[in-house]
Structure 1
Amino acid sequence: MFSIIKRLFKSKPKINESYVTATTSFHFVAELPQMHTQFQETFRMFPDFVSRELVVKKVTYGVFYLSNLVDSDLLIEEILNRLLEIEDVPSPEKLVNLIPIGQRLLDDNWYPLQQRILQGWTYIHISGYPYGILANTAKRRERALTKPENESQILGPQIAFTENMETNVALIHQYLPNPDLCEIALIKGENTTQTNIRIVYLSNRADLEMVTHIYNSIEALQLEAILDATILAQWLEDNPSSFFPQMITTERVDRAIFPLLEGKVVITVSGSPHVIICPNTFFDFFKSIEDYYFRWATGLFFRNLRIVGIAISLFATATYVAALTYHYEIIPQALLVPLAQSRARVPFPPIVEALIMEMIIQLLSEAGARLPSKVGQTMGIVGGIVIGQAAVQAGFTSNILIIIVALSALSSFTTPVFGMANAIRIIRFPIILSAGIMGGLGIAVSVALLILHLLRQSSLGQPYFYPPYTIEDKNKRDGLIRVPYQLIPKRSVFANTGENTLKGNKDIDE
């Protein structure tokens, strides 16, 4: 007994602090042996760190890099071979011109140098000089361009963004070879991820005061790490407590091009295969880029079909609960008898029955999403059939509720933006509770509260619940109604008014 207690409270062995604590004191000196010692001390926890001395015509060079991060072919061809070809004694200033991928390092700021080495750069030090040069020898790790996996469609370009930000920006430039296409570069997470961010917009179309607002919003963020564009999108939301998303993230290149032409802004994040589109209105989340590839009548039909699907997803189950609890008179007589017979064996009140079945549907959906694709599809289909049939036979629920819940689940997936579809799935539950407590009045109160909530929202300072269509202003026709191309406005409500003077953009210029 005492031996067990002694083992439980036995002190853990301590690791030598010198092997854990990073070196912060680093001084650039002219003597190469001292630089070699400091580098070895600083990168002692990196087994792949390489420090080499290269003597060429009585000139000693120090080369420092991480072997698993550098492109060995680039290191040999562009650095080592060029050093061997040098005939006279170079200075760092001359060496920059001899090595095309080199950048001069003139100050003794150690931290940026350390960050560059950790990103795959190589530091070259010439004996006798208290500074050296940096060369970008990072190994490019990126996948090839592929089709969009999560936003598939029949018509239009089949190219998706990748995790490489330079590739993503190049794709945008490929579609828009326009001198008005501007970029603003930022870096967030300076102490950890060193995430590069680009704000992309068309200067002759975007409202430049809006661009300034977006730039200032990102610049004001105090973030240690940004791993994906979806994280940055949540930080940029004006109302983070709202269920409704205010930013659209997409992996499709063409879906990012159309908003740029409308005067919106696209934000790219290094390491993320998605880009952020902003600002947005509530109705932008129900537009699919494929609507513009179909003829206007087809696009109009599918766009409004999604709106009907949203209404079914939000209110179908709630209407069932309200009708069975308070409003039997609204049920047709031909349907009333079969409905009563199917509920004769159900031991739960309608609100409990509906909430249980909705939760089961959500569990099946989540399980199918987390399993491998082929297994997940089989799980969703077979699981839904088996559980639904068993629940009806056991008297756990009625046949009609199974149909309504399944229809609500299918309708929620008609939304093109996945974030909005998730919001609708969540909001459905409080509406069902309101219907079970107050009946039809509860549904009406829920609708009123939703509209009031949407009216109070904003997207980067712009109105979120902007009217989708107004007759007075012809520039706002492309809302819920898909009209022929001859009537579609060239710019959205967020575009500039023709005055391209940049007011208040002093922060960007600096």
Structure 2
Amino acid sequence: MKTMFLKKKKIVDEVIEKLYRSPDLTRRRIERNGQKISLLFLKNLVNPTQLQQSVLQSIQNIELPLTAATIAKTIPIGQVHICQDVDIITAHLIEGWVYVCVEQEQNGVLLNVSEKVERSLEKAETESLVFGPKISFTESLSTNIRILRNNVNDEQLVTEEMIIGKRNKLPVRIVYIQDIADPDNVQTVKQRLSELDVDDVTDSSVLAQMLDDHSFSIFPQYLMTELPDRLSYSLLKGRIGILVDRSPTVIICPTTFFSFFETTEDIYLRWTMSTVLRVMRMLGILTSIFLSPIYVAVITYHYELIPSDLLLTIGESRSRVPFPPVLEALLLEFMIELLREAGARLPTKVGQTMGIVGGIVLGQAAVDAGFTSNLLIIIVSLSALGSFTAPSYEMGTAIRILRFPIIILAAMWGLIGIIIGICVLIVHLLKLTSLGRPYLSPIYPFRFADLKYSLVRLPQQFYYKRPISNRVQNKYRFSWKDSKKRKDLDE
């Protein structure tokens, strides 16, 4: 008996030493009829009401003699774990658990009485919608799983937990639908997560960069979303989601280049409207990338392409500009990026005022001072608006950065330089993969049946098959023959 007491005392002392005698670490001793019970917990991480009512009062009411097994069976706590490993005990105390040990017992009991700090459910900030659910994920992993299960109440929905990070251990959930997702994709995700050897992962966006197929590419290879309905829609198409604790965004993989220009609102709108909006987004992106370089190329090398009436107007507008077109364009593009970054970092109301007033004042002042022409102000503004049509913030940022090297190529070789930039860009996109799957699918490799999931939208009855690109197990969503039947009430 004395040996057991010394061993138990040593475990408690080791835990205290392992936490460097933190002032938050509280040790509570209780004695009942000669039996001594010790409780260890970090006071700032536990729920005091649950600790008092569910743990302390229950210990007073348990029939003697007290044992670890009796405590585990009697105390009304959902998560209970009998343990004597110092490392496991310490890790659980950091997460808000309480450790209860009886001096006559070799094992102790870990009880989950943690109080998580989380915000309430709110509207999505980075993905605004007109139609559809507005709720977004939060920083709590358990809350996010609950939201997901409310959206996908399928018994085949799998949520597998993994722990990443050596020092700051972070729970991660891999979610997919068992009979739809490709097992090879699931295994690839598990393997990449298990091979991570890092101290800490601060956010899902950091984890996505660690899982990238091509780390040096400017293009994002995994889709980030904070909308539960977008994750649900992706899971039903055979994709995989990765939820990270303390992060409100979810990683969706594998993904394609065209997925970054889709929104869940495309599903809620009529197919004609969705198709037009998708085409407008693609045209906006092309405008954002190539409009300024085309201006530089034409003004520098290809005056013959400009109509004579417009050429006179442009010549008059640029007569006071002392810079060549490339410096003029780079100066304005840099100014727009500064305004955008300043507006994003300032408080909301101040940022909006800064963007509007700053853009108008600086633009007008630049024209009056002879630093730029009126035409280039219009072109750069259109380019900026085109980049904002991308629903994904990461893809929009990549598009804005692409403008600068293509402007330089246009200044060096004119339209030939732009063609060279387009060729390099296409070759790079053809080489990219997402989770080992082609990034430009369904264009390369070409899959006609998947075009309705990327470039255009069709009526709902045409979506009876899931995307071939995701290599799903269950290919059919519903019967094509049944979808064509239309029955009235009097039939």
TM-score, length basis structure 1? 0.89
**Residues 172 and 257, structure 1, Cα contact 8 Å, conserved in 2:** yes
**Residues 343 and 355, structure 2, Cα contact 8 Å, conserved in 1:** yes
Give the match for residue 176 of structure 2.
Answer: 201
Cα deviation code 1:92-139 (max 9, x no counterpart): 1222101232634344x2112111111111111101223211011111
Give the match for residue 268 of structure 2.
Answer: 293
Cα deviation code 1:172-191 (max 9, x no counterpart): 111111111111110001x3
Cα deviation code 1:229-249 (max 9, x no counterpart): 101111111001000000111
Counterpart Cα distance in 2 of 1:41 and 1:222: 27
Give SS of 1:105's match: strand
Aligned-pair RMSD on alpha carbons?
1.9
Residues 459 and 67 from structure 1, CA distance in 2 versus in 1: closer, same or farther, beyond 3 angstroms? Answer: same
Counterpart Cα distance in 2 of 1:33 and 1:303: 67
Give the match for residue 127 of structure 1.
Answer: 103
Letter in structure 2 aligned against 1:400:
L
- The residue correspondences of 1:57-456 to structure 2 (distance < 5 A) are 57-101=33-77, 103-107=80-84, 109-189=85-165, 191-456=166-431
Give SS of 1:214's match: helix
Shift >6 Å, 4+ stretches: 469-472
The one of 421, 436, 443 aligned to 1:461: 436
**Residues 314 and 375, structure 2, Cα contact 8 Å, conserved in 1:** yes
Q: Percent identity?
A: 41
Counterpart Cα distance in 1 of 2:447 and 2:385: 36
Could you list the runs of 5+ residues in structure 1 that have no partner in the other structure?
Answer: 1-26, 501-510
Letter in structure 2 aligned against 1:284:
S
**Residues 29 and 35, structure 1, Cα contact 8 Å, conserved in 2:** no
User: Per-residue deviation at 1:78?
Assistant: 1.0
Letter in structure 2 aligned against 1:159:
I
Q: Which moved more, 1:202-211 or 1:158-167?
A: 202-211
Counterpart Cα distance in 1 of 2:48 and 2:470: 48
Give SS of 1:129's match: coil
Could you list the runs of 5+ residues in structure 2 that have no partner in the other structure?
Answer: 477-491
**Residues 186 and 240, structure 2, Cα contact 8 Å, conserved in 1:** yes
Report how many aligned residue pairs link the two structures: 472
User: Per-residue deviation at 1:424?
Assistant: 0.4
Counterpart Cα distance in 2 of 1:285 and 1:128: 61
User: Per-residue deviation at 1:43?
Assistant: 3.6
Residues 473 and 310 from structure 1, CA distance in 2 versus in 1: closer, same or farther, beyond 3 angstroms? Answer: closer
User: Per-residue deviation at 1:466?
Assistant: 1.2
Residues 110 and 229 from structure 1, CA distance in 2 versus in 1: closer, same or farther, beyond 3 angstroms? Answer: same
User: Per-residue deviation at 1:34?
Assistant: 4.8
Counterpart Cα distance in 2 of 1:475 and 1:361: 37
Residues 94 and 378 from structure 1, CA distance in 2 versus in 1: closer, same or farther, beyond 3 angstroms? Answer: same
Counterpart Cα distance in 2 of 1:469 and 1:456: 10
User: Per-residue deviation at 1:194?
Assistant: 1.4
Letter in structure 1 aligned against 2:217:
S
Residues 45 and 378 from structure 1, CA distance in 2 versus in 1: closer, same or farther, beyond 3 angstroms? Answer: farther
Letter in structure 1 aligned against 2:37:
Y
**Residues 475 and 489, structure 1, Cα contact 8 Å, conserved in 2:** no
TM-score, length basis structure 2? 0.92
User: Per-residue deviation at 1:203?
Assistant: 1.3
Counterpart Cα distance in 2 of 1:88 and 1:367: 67
